[in-house]
Chains A and B, each alone.
Chain A
Amino acid sequence: MGALARREQRLAYTMLLPTFLVVFGVVLIPLLANFWISFKPVQLGDLRAATMLANEQLRPRPKVAGESVVLRYRIRNSSQQDPISGVTMRDALPFGLSLNLSDERCSLNENELFCDFGSIAAGGRFNLEIPATVDQNYLDSGERPRDSKAVFTGNSRNVLTSSEFTLDNFRRIFASDEFWAVLRVSLYYTIFGTLGALVLGLFAAQILNTAFKGRNVLRGLFLFPYVAPVIAVAFAWVLLLDAGPGGTLNAMLMQMGTIDGPVNFLGQRYIPISIFGFTINFPMALTTVIAFEAWRYFPLSFLFILARMQSISTDMYEAAEIDGATPLQQFWYLSLPQLLGILSVLFLLRFIWTFNKFDDIFLLTGGAAGTRTLTVDVYEQAFAVSNLGAGAAVAVVVFFVLLFFALIFFKFSPQDDG
């Protein structure tokens, strides 16, 4: 390899290095860390490491120079579970306060007090009392012992870095009945949400494919759901679909006589619907969140499908026209095969992103009424139940399900268009 090529190679690596570092630090390492946490018995509260706290006081309050007083530290371990070892304390004393130090744990250096307490048990608390005298300088300066905070050092067990591992997290999530229901809801949501967005996008692209006045305005309008922040559109839907007084859609449907009473679109798990004498339980809330997903992401598939359709040459359609193919035949036998590539790529990408989706369901229902997906379950376990380990375990499941689908897709996806 020539010197030039080598220099080019080095330059390339230099230019890519920052990206590598960021992706490593914020994506790959956390991904591995998640696996680590999933094997740990760690609660949300454990993130606050055990620390020593001190409260210092001078008793009685000195009024004249030369008065004898006691400097008292009330010291405690903040954690009820974890002991702290090698505890030392350092505190700067106010000017004009002289200590009669007899405690062998402590030493005085200039006006700095240093103490070595060794190990302190979980929840341990004790008082350190040092007799002292004050002089006129102390009374004049106005500086008080509390003005400088006592600084502690010490080692406490950190559950995140300890070598304590457990399979309890996985055992817990797989044992619960809810888990399989959550997995099923995730799959329904992903499959139907993806298909819904694709079909809507296909229709929208069909109607905007021919040129007419105002087409650009409509195209911009159709992209609104995707461009607007998720919090805004999700809350707008919540208000629109509200089942209480003030819900616009329910009021509208009742005014039209379509329904008799308000339908709780986002809060009801099942609605019995009778068709031809059979009563089926229609999953209402799940359908609503799927509809939201399709509504919010159809613009994306619409854009890609439209771009692909506009690149299809018109010769083919003219030939078909001469051969007497009807419009629907042209769509079925000419357009659809041409769109198959982009449709399958879109399906693949949207499938994975829908599966990853958290915000939408979290904001619409919070995972209630049979809409809890795996991603919402991660949040529920880790932050609502405060069991970080279990949350991480669900996240591991999310990752592997995703990996499974990704492998299937990449095996069967068409090679072109990618």
Chain B
Amino acid sequence: MRMGTVTIASIVIGAIWGAIWMVVVGILLMLVTGITTSPPVAIAAVAGALAGGTCLFVEPEKRRKQRLIPLLALVAAALILTLSGLAPFGASLSGNVVQQLIALIVLAAILASSIYFCMDGFAAGAARRYRLELLLIRVLKGLAFVVFTVVVVLPFYVMVMTSLKSQQSLLSNPLDFSINVSQGFESLFRSYFELFTQYHFGTFLLNSAIVSVITVFITLFFAVPGAYAVARLRFPGQAFLSRSILLIYMVPAIVLVIPLYAVFSQAGLRNSLTGLLIVYPATTIPVALYMLQGYFRGLPAELEEAGLMDGLSRVGVIAKITMPLSLPALASVALYVFMIAWNEFLFAFMFLDDLDMFTLSRGVVSLNSSEVPRQHLMAGAVIATVPVLAIFLWFEKFLVAGLTAGSVKG
């Protein structure tokens, strides 16, 4: 094998992937099975480096034919096993042989694939700057994939798994998220049952649904005519309005909360869903109006003019021509508004005192006390998250369109 920049790069890349995947797989093994691992990162790096070097012994064109991935995986697995003294994840093999061997096979396979794809098309020896940068970008992208996925998923994983465990077992070993499936459905989801039977979560869920859905309808009812006027009708102040409507959104909620609290307290609106139904639409109407007017402007004006020629009134044109054409935009605005109202925390927290009035946001906060076990808090978080994530995944395309159309709020 010729020495050169690519050769060195291949060895370094192998070492990096070895270390990264050892950490990820080792911790995953610990979280899933509860085996106390202490991943031997250095050993995995050495094994990865040797596998990276091995890769270059085969010409790039022949790698697929010679089944290089299994070969590299075998090399890596054998090296890790021998170097670690038959304790591939820093824990003795006895007892959990099957799980540890499966994890080792997975580790070796992804390590080998990572090296294979990074070095795809590169032969041993030296390379020019262009090719080296290509290599660098491949590695960085691969690392970014792993890091982003882990960082995004980890909190959600902890949230779901904690809700299924008991406080005692979590305190004794916080890394053991293994789920004992044999305990039965009822005992596994005990926290959820208790939240619904003892902590009024049925009411909270219903309140959240009522508030969010009504907010969506009120918002659309106000924003559709407003957006149409800004987009299509000529009147003094039109240009100013279409640009400044988003400024309303820059007003921080915390500045509004004190006066609204004072007025609502004296008017008896504070501890009621009606109070929320006054505040929520006021915060969502401007952004809905902004998103919709952008969409209305994109619709061909000729269609509406034809409608006007044929004797329809403006209102008739809106109802019979514009609205049916804007269904996708209406859907994405509705979803976006639903999301804002469902997730809203500040006003719900400030205004609601009665258990019967709590929305989910307010309800979950009330679980955050030392008297309520953690799995209940996390089960509450899951209950609040699942509906909005389900809706998001179901209508992802609409929501993404809505988010990008509005250049919107946080």
Interface residues of A (CB under 8 A from B): 5, 8-9, 11-13, 15-16, 18-19, 22-23, 25-27, 29-31, 33-34, 36-37, 47-49, 160, 203-204, 206-207, 216, 218-225, 227-233, 235-237, 239-240, 245-248, 250-252, 255-257, 295, 297, 300, 303-304, 307, 324, 326-328, 345, 349-350, 352-359, 363, 375, 378-379, 382-383, 388, 391-392, 395-396, 398-399, 402, 406
Q: How far is the CA of A7 from the CA of B136 in the complex (A)?
A: 65
Let me know if B129 and A15 touch, CB within 8 A: no
Asked if B381 is an interface residue, CB under 8 A from chain A, the answer is yes
Known: A19-B286, A246-B170. 11 other contacts (CB 8 A): A9-B235, A26-B278, A49-B266, A228-B388, A229-B384, A248-B175, A256-B39, A300-B410, A304-B404, A304-B407, A395-B258
The winner among A327, A345, A398 for most chain B CB atoms within 10 A is: A327
Beta-carbon nearest neighbor of B362 in chain A: A231
Stretch at the interface among B62-70, B103-111, B187-195, B224-232: B224-232
Let me know if B410 and A34 touch, CB within 8 A: no
10 interchain residue pairs of minimum CB distance: A26-B282, A33-B259, A356-B252, A232-B381, A15-B225, A12-B233, A30-B259, A15-B229, A236-B159, A12-B235
Q: How far is the CA of A392 from the CA of B374 in the complex (A)?
A: 35
Closest beta carbon of chain A to B62's beta carbon, Å: 25
Q: How far is the CA of A47 from the CA of B281 in the complex (A)?
A: 25
- Which B residues lie within 8 Å of A327 (CB)? 130, 133-134, 137
Let me know if B256 and A27 touch, CB within 8 A: yes
- Which A residues lie within 8 Å of B120 (CB)? none
Interface residues of B (CB under 8 A from A): 23, 27, 30, 36-39, 41, 129-130, 133-134, 136-137, 141, 144-145, 148-149, 151-156, 158-159, 162, 167, 170-175, 221-223, 225-226, 228-230, 233-236, 238, 241, 248, 250-263, 265-266, 278-279, 281-283, 285-286, 289, 314, 339, 342-343, 345-346, 350, 360-361, 364-365, 368, 374, 377-378, 381-382, 384-385, 388-389, 392-393, 396, 399-400, 403-404, 407, 409-410
- Which B residues lie within 8 Å of A392 (CB)? 258-259
Consensus secondary structure, chain B interface: helix
- Which A residues lie within 8 Å of B393 (CB)? 220
- Which B residues lie within 8 Å of A9 (CB)? 233-236
Let me know if A307 and B254 touch, CB within 8 A: no
Q: How far is the CA of A391 from the CA of B393 in the complex (A)?
A: 40
Let me know if A8 and B235 touch, CB within 8 A: yes
Let me know if B339 and A27 touch, CB within 8 A: no
Closest beta carbon of chain B to A395's beta carbon, Å: 4
Q: List 6 A-B contacts (CB under 8 A).
A: A8-B235, A31-B256, A203-B148, A247-B174, A399-B252, A406-B250
- Which B residues lie within 8 Å of A248 (CB)? 158, 174-175
B364's contact among A25, A232, A297, A326, by CB below 8 Å, is which?
Answer: A232
Closest beta carbon of chain B to A304's beta carbon, Å: 6
Let me know if A239 and B153 touch, CB within 8 A: no
- Which A residues lie within 8 Å of B228 (CB)? 15
Q: How far is the CA of A402 from the CA of B173 in the complex (A)?
A: 46
- Which A residues lie within 8 Å of B263 (CB)? 30, 33
Let me know if A255 and B38 touch, CB within 8 A: yes
- Which B residues lie within 8 Å of A23 (CB)? 248, 282, 285-286
Q: How far is the CA of A31 from the CA of B38 in the complex (A)?
A: 56
